[in-house]
Structure formats: C-alpha cells, structure tokens
Amino acid sequence: MARFTGKVAIVTGSSNGIGRGTAILFAQEGAKVTITGRNAQRLEETKQEILKSGVPEDNVLAVVADLASEKGQDELIDSTIQQFGRLDILVNNAGTAFLDSQGRTGLDQDVSDFDKINMRSVVTLTQKAKKYLIESKGEIVNVSSVAAGPQAHSDMMYYGMSKAALDQFTRSTAINLIQHGVRVNAVSPGAVATGIGEAMGLPPGAMEKMMSFFESRKECIPCGKIAQPVDIANIIAFLADRKLSSYIIGQSIVADGGSTLVMGTQAHNLMEVIKN
Ligand code: NDP
C-alpha cells in the first residue's frame, strides 16, 4: 500500500513549481489531493500530469481560487471536505516572488504584496483547516525560505520578513496544535527552478541566466546545482509522513545546497588567493 493511501491533502500553489511537484508526488503515493491556484490553465496542466502517472481522476480535485481572499480560502476548504469528506495534510506553499506587483525591489516595495499571501493567508487558512486536521490528527507543512534570515536580504526584505514571520507561526502553531495531535513543520528551500521568474514578470531567459550564475559560484550554491521542485517535494512528503518524522515538531528543514553555510569570503580558497 502506498504511504499516503486513505489520506486527503490540500497543496496550495500547486498550479506551478514546488506545489505542482508536491501534488504529483502525494497523488502518486496514494493521497487524494486538492490542487489549487488562480491560473486555471496551469492548474489543468498539473491535473493532467497527475492523471498521466496513472492516478484515478476521482483522487484529484482542482479548485481555482485566490488565496489572498478569505472567500477563496473558504472555497478551498469547503470543496475539499465536500468532495473527500476529510482533511489529513495541509501544505501551505502558495507564495509570491521577490518583486512586488509594480516590479520594485528593496525598501520601496509594497509590503502588503508579500504580507497578504506569504503570511496572512497561511494564518487564516490554517485557522479554517484546524478543526478538520484535529479530527484526523493530521499534518501541516509550511513552505518558508532561507530568505527568512539570519542573513539580510535588502533587495527582497519584505519577502524575507514574511517568511521570518511564517517561521515563527510554524513554531508557535506547532506547540498550539500538538496538544490536539496535529503536527506542524516547514521546509526552507534555497534556489529552486520553478515558475517564480515568470511570476516576477522577468523576460524569457532571465531566470535561467540567474540560475546559471548561482550554480557556477560556490559562494552562492556550494553544491553547484539549483534544486528541482521534486527535491523540495520529497522533504514535504517526509514531514507529512508521520511514520518517518513523528518526533519532528515545529522545525524548518533547510534545503539549499549549502548556500546558508557559506559567506562570500569563506567560499574562496585562501591558498589560491595568496598564491597570485
Ligand atoms: P511558482 O511561482 O512556480 O508557484 C507559486 C504558486 O503559488 C503558484 O501555483 C501560484 O498560483 C500560487 N499563488 C501565488 N499567489 C497566489 C494567490 N494569491 N492565490 C492562490 N495561489 C497563489 O513559485 P515556487 O514554486 O517557487 O514557490 C512556491 C513556494 O516556495 C513559495 O512560497 C515561495 O516563496 C517558496 N520558495 C521558492 C523558492 C525558489 O527558489 N523557487 C525558494 C524558497 C522558497 P497562480 O499563479 O495560479 O495563482
């Protein structure tokens, strides 16, 4: 029997990137999955990818919703319960990228662009899902980011702040909900090849350029490789699998190819530097 057989999962932000990879993995591992995003066409692509891998159509529910609104959140929870009758796993993954809706970086960005979806929507969706997760003694996995700190991220400070707030929410809800048998954890990815560049409105090829710049510099990514969505999906599945991770409560697993362990100077070979 597959490890998530009999479980029902909601994966937010599953019309693209990490969420899509996670929804596909969960469905392949036996879960009934609600996929969701604002973009109906991309959501349909996720659904077709799931079905292509042999998952029965009855196991997938697609809900087009804007999670920045409580109406969208209610639709997501209500239609999942209506279709599948329970909720075991909530993956709070939907999130914005680094530029704000006007394409700005740094201090001048609109803080609410990040606050609304990366943090507040996670809070209210968790509140709405709570009673169902208590009934099932379920799991929550939040998708944070290494941008939460402790390093500064001056170009994308509100993104980083929203993820830092999310980390504190993970820790605090974990203690709040474990008394009811619900576990809460998170994953903090470094750079992952997803649709995030397109979501930022970057021109075609710009994201690839940034990725290969990072990959070629060990002070950026010591392992020399950008992650793929499945690399993060595997960690989310681990944290949602009580048989494997039952004693992990309120933690965030960093998956960043070593990025946060190095500082620019440390990454260079000092013997090479003094030779020239
Ligand atoms: P993508 O842009 O590929 O996916 C983002 C997803 O979030 C999409 O499915 C999008 O759906 C959804 N989403 C965004 N805003 C809303 C909204 N208002 N309502 C409903 N859905 C929404 O990005 P990633 O896969 O990279 O990002 C997923 C998570 O991973 C985010 O929380 C991000 O911060 C985090 N992360 C990503 C990293 C990376 O390098 N890629 C690094 C660290 C963390 P739609 O457009 O259809 O609404």
* Ligand 1 atom closest to the CA of 194, numbered from 1: 3
Q: Which of 114, 194, 253 to mutate to test the pocket of ligand 1 (most atoms within 8 A of CB)?
A: 194
CB 89 within 8 A of CB 138: yes
| Ligand 1 within 6 A of CB of 99 | no
- Answer positive or negative: Cα dihedral of 202, 206, 208, 210: negative
Q: Which of 10, 14, 18 to mutate to test the pocket of ligand 1 (most atoms within 8 A of CB)?
A: 18
> Which whole number is the average pLDDT over 206-210?
83
Residue 275 has pLDDT above 90, yes or no: no
Strands ordered across the beta sheet of 183-189:
60-64, 32-37, 8-11, 89-92, 139-143, 183-189, 252-255
Where does the pLDDT of residue 263 fall: very low under 50, low under 70, confident under 90, or very high at 90 and above?
confident
With CA atoms as reference, report the closest residue to 172 among 215, 241, 123.
Answer: 123
Reply yes or no on whether 132 is catalytic. no
Q: How far is the CA of 21 from the centre of ligand 1 (A)?
A: 12
Q: How far is the CA of 266 from the centre of ligand 1 (A)?
A: 32
Residue 276 has pLDDT above 80, yes or no: no
| Ligand 1 within 6 A of CB of 145 | yes
Partner residues linked to 34 by β-bridges: 10, 61
CB 61 within 8 A of CB 35: yes
Give 10-51 pLDDT, tens digit per residue.
999 999 999 999 999 999 999 999 999 999 999 999 999 999
At 35 the three-state DSSP class reads strand
Per the model's pLDDT, the better-predicted residue between 51 and 266 turns out to be: 51
Average pLDDT along the chain: 93
Q: How far is the CA of 52 from the centre of ligand 1 (A)?
A: 23
Q: Which two tokens stand for residue 53?
A: 């891998």
Residue 97 has pLDDT above 80, yes or no: no
> Which whole number is the average pLDDT over 156-171?
96
CA torsion 41-47-50-54 (nearest 10°) is -120
Residue 269 pLDDT: 73
Q: What percent of the chain has pLDDT over 90?
A: 77
Where does the pLDDT of residue 112 fall: very low under 50, low under 70, confident under 90, or very high at 90 and above?
confident
Residue 191 Cα distances to 87, 199, 214, 258, angstroms = 30, 15, 9, 11
Residue 139 has pLDDT above 90, yes or no: yes
> Which whole number is the average pLDDT over 97-117?
86
H helix or E strand, kind and range, residue 208 = helix 206-215
In degrees and rounded to multiples of 5, residue 114 shows phi and psi of -90, -40
Q: Which two tokens stand for residue 46?
A: 């996720």
Where does the pLDDT of residue 134 fall: very low under 50, low under 70, confident under 90, or very high at 90 and above?
very high
- 127 Cβ neighbours under 8 A, 6+ residues apart: none
pTM of the predicted model, to two decimals?
0.96
Residue 198 has pLDDT above 80, yes or no: no
Residue 251 has pLDDT above 80, yes or no: yes
| Ligand 1 within 6 A of CB of 138 | no
Q: How far is the CA of 208 from the centre of ligand 1 (A)?
A: 17
List the catalytic residue out of 132, 158, 159, 247.
159
Tokens 């943090």, located at residue? 119
Q: How far is the CA of 37 from the centre of ligand 1 (A)?
A: 9
> Which whole number is the average pLDDT over 225-236?
97
| Ligand 1 within 6 A of CB of 16 | yes
Question: Side chain identity at 149, as an amino acid letter?
Answer: G
